[in-house]
A and B are shown apart, each in its own frame.
Chain A
């Protein structure tokens, strides 16, 4: 039946300079086929609708199944894996940054400790050296004082002995002079005279 209509339609197309006449000549059936196959859009040919809809629904069901069961879960898994990895890496980076900060703080603290320790040691050394220095100075002072005292004593001794010697010499010389001049030696007078003279010199 349909092939007959198609034939009629083809025939109508060939005589389409006068489509109306063709339609009249071939009757209503030819006109309908003509409308569907030639002048009308194939989209409006209702005879193919059942076919199209059947295959379309089948295709959509298959496509939906393929996407929902295979394609979309796989892509979702890949994307979420990647996001997980990125988030994990970021967290690890954050952790490392934290660790680096802690290490820096520890380093700073160690540095500060070492510095204060060094200062302590320096201060202790300085105090010790100062102490030794003070001791040495005191010792030296004491020695100097002792030697000075000794020297003074010796100088005094020398002075004393010099004075004594000078008096004896003067007395002897005086007694001898008196004797030489024929005088009578009075020891007490000689001593007095010598002492009086010495007073001015041996002061």
Chain B
């Protein structure tokens, strides 16, 4: 895996080293309670979210300033998304979806800072997010509709003969949801950051350095877009799953 190419060197190990979970203080094993770089960047996500939504709106002005406008735009966007997709009764879960959106958004954006650690590039993190959505939504479905929630898998609009087949497909697709939900986000983050690092590794070679640096700039811009889009997609899919739980009939 580690390929040496002259003095500048192409250290592909360093491509993945940005994803390593390390202790913040001292040496030793990473226990479940050890403060790690994950802890640090999770903390920074809370700080950034609070900075935007609380510090930004400290004026509570009737005519908002820039930071308050941004906070209100974010709020309005997610609020409208929940209302449009999940319906009025989905607004009860708006704080939950807003939490997920802000978390993923700032995890992605803070991960773009140089030397940063991207928590959403870890399957463990996105997996917990996706499975918590999966279990919450399934629980809401059964609590609200009881056995009728299973109507979600029984497509009444289809001819009776093919309904069992569709039910199997629906059940499989339902259980694949958390997997695709988590892998989509983590995969995008891993791929983008790895590609930037690969291009950066090539910058050590004088002949291709300009191209490499341009490519890094281009990728960085693209990743900034991806960071937002993935947060948006994560939140919108959560809304779609929530809609299925609140209104299971097709």
User: Which residues of B in the span 5-36 have a Cβ within 8 Å of any Cβ on A?
Assistant: 13, 16-17, 19-21, 27-34, 36
Bound CA span A57–B30, Å: 17
Report the minimal beta-carbon distance from A173 to chain B, rounded to whole angstroms.
130
In the complex, chain A residues whose CB is within 8 Å of the CB of B181: none
Interface size class of B (residues with CB under 8 A): 35 or more
Chain B residues in contact with chain A, CB under 8 A? 1-2, 13, 16-17, 19-21, 27-34, 36, 38-39, 42-43, 45-46, 49-50, 53-54, 57, 60-62, 64, 68, 71-72, 75-76, 94-96, 98-99, 102-103, 119, 121-125, 128-129, 132, 186, 190
Contact of A48 among B30, B95, B128 (CB under 8 A): B30
Bound CA span A59–B104, Å: 12
B16/A75 in contact, CB under 8 A: no
A42/B42 in contact, CB under 8 A: no
Number of A-B contacts (CB under 8 A): 145
A43/B54 in contact, CB under 8 A: no
Q: Which of A78-86, A115-123, A157-165, A193-201 contacts B (4 or more CB under 8 A)?
A: A78-86
Report the minimal beta-carbon distance from B122 to chain A, rounded to whole angstroms.
5
Q: Binding site of B, secondary structure by majority: helix, strand, loop or mixed?
A: helix
A51/B30 in contact, CB under 8 A: yes
Closest to B61 in A: A78
Contact of A67 among B27, B28, B102 (CB under 8 A): B102
Report the minimal beta-carbon distance from B220 to chain A, rounded to whole angstroms.
21
B19/A75 in contact, CB under 8 A: no
